[in-house]
Structure 1
Amino acid sequence: MTIILTPMQTEEFRSYLTYTTKHYAEEKVKAGTWQPEDALRLSKQTFSNLLPKGLETLHHHVWSLTLNEKESVGWLWIHAEPEHPQQEAFIYDFGLYEPYRGKGYAKQALAALDQTARSMGIRKLSLHVFAHNQTARKLYERIGFQETDVVMSKKL
């Protein structure tokens, strides 16, 4: 069973955007960055700013993670500015639908991204991961991502 990156279609993008906007708001509250009463509005604003033309936003690539070329198991979204001095792309969002987690598909998807990124001329991938998401942090460390900055907070 192989994971491939398939350009996300409009219908799936609508569902994805609804899900990820809510999920991002929840994660920002969990991280202590946003207040619950502001989170959904701020999340919608963030996605509107990042993807003003949806799937047609320049230099953004939103893929469905497809298992055996037919079954969508998750999503992956990067921004890749062709003129970036370090030939870097930023992973904005990556996830698997619940039934597909813990089965090795995330590692396969990121390997597929590596291959696709290289073919696009990308030489460096970066991402943000919430500190409380230990599962994701461990995965990223296992496949070669290294911390470059650490922001810490303390509640008083």
Structure 2
Amino acid sequence: MIELVLMNHEQYEAFRDQSAADYAAEKVAAGTWDAVDAERLATESFAKYLPQGKDTPGAYIYNIVDTAKQQIIGYIWLQISDAPAGKQAFLYDILIYEPYQGKGYGQATMKALDQVAIEEGAVKIGLHVFGHNLKALHVYEKAGYQITDYQMSKTLTL
């Protein structure tokens, strides 16, 4: 069984460092950022979206825990905010650690995420997935997410 457990300060710092590094790498892989600037831009992004760290209003940053094994198997960051159509949730980051991938934890985590969002009054959950991340795209589609728009690019050669 999966349980989402709010992070303590030390866990949050480790999450922030890993999540920012992963985000920078994904932006470079997507061709959006230059490798030279990626770390700085990712740090700036975290400062913008989590100005008070784990205590930022509307931020829910959890460890994903396998309760049977009493093992942290990943993390998840959900943001909930008010919107004209009702409270909206946005999944900023999810990571199932490598040894636990492909074992159904992603789907179980997405169900636990739905429950948290419902309990917090959200009527919708959105997310962004990089086009090259086919594994994540599969997890999200299997969990019932639908594509709402496309952003495309083409690298030009001179």
TM-score band by shorter chain is: over 0.9
AA in 1 matched with 2:41: L
Query: How many residue pairs align between the two structures?
Result: 154
AA in 2 matched with 1:143: A
Tell me the equivalent position of 1:97: 97
AA in 1 matched with 2:102: G
- Cα deviation digits, residues 20-62 of structure 1 (max 9, x gap): 1111101000000000101111001101111111111011110
1:15 aligns with 2:29: no
Q: CA RMSD in A?
A: 1.0
Tell me the equivalent position of 2:121: 121
**Cα distance in 1 between the residues matched to 2:16 and 2:118:** 27
Tell me the equivalent position of 2:111: 111
**Cα distance in 1 between the residues matched to 2:29 and 2:19:** 15
Tell me the equivalent position of 2:67: 68
Which secondary structure state, in structure 1, belongs to the residue aligned with residue 137 of structure 2? helix
- Unpaired stretches in structure 2, ≥5 consecutive residues: none
- Cα deviation digits, residues 84-137 of structure 1 (max 9, x gap): 223211001111111111110010011011111111111110000000000100
Q: TM-score, normalised by structure 1?
A: 0.95
**Cα distance in 1 between the residues matched to 2:83 and 2:6:** 22
Q: TM-score, normalised by structure 2?
A: 0.94
- 5 Å-filtered alignment, 1:6-155, equals 6-68=5-67, 70-81=70-81, 83-86=82-85, 87-155=87-155
**Cα distance in 2 between the residues matched to 1:5 and 1:117:** 12
**Cα distance in 2 between the residues matched to 1:66 and 1:21:** 21
AA in 2 matched with 1:145: Y
**Cα distance in 2 between the residues matched to 1:21 and 1:73:** 18
The ranges of structure 1 where at least 4 consecutive aligned residues each deviate by more than 3 angstroms after the TM superposition are none
AA in 1 matched with 2:135: T
- Unpaired stretches in structure 1, ≥5 consecutive residues: none
Which secondary structure state, in structure 1, belongs to the residue aligned with residue 11 of structure 2? helix
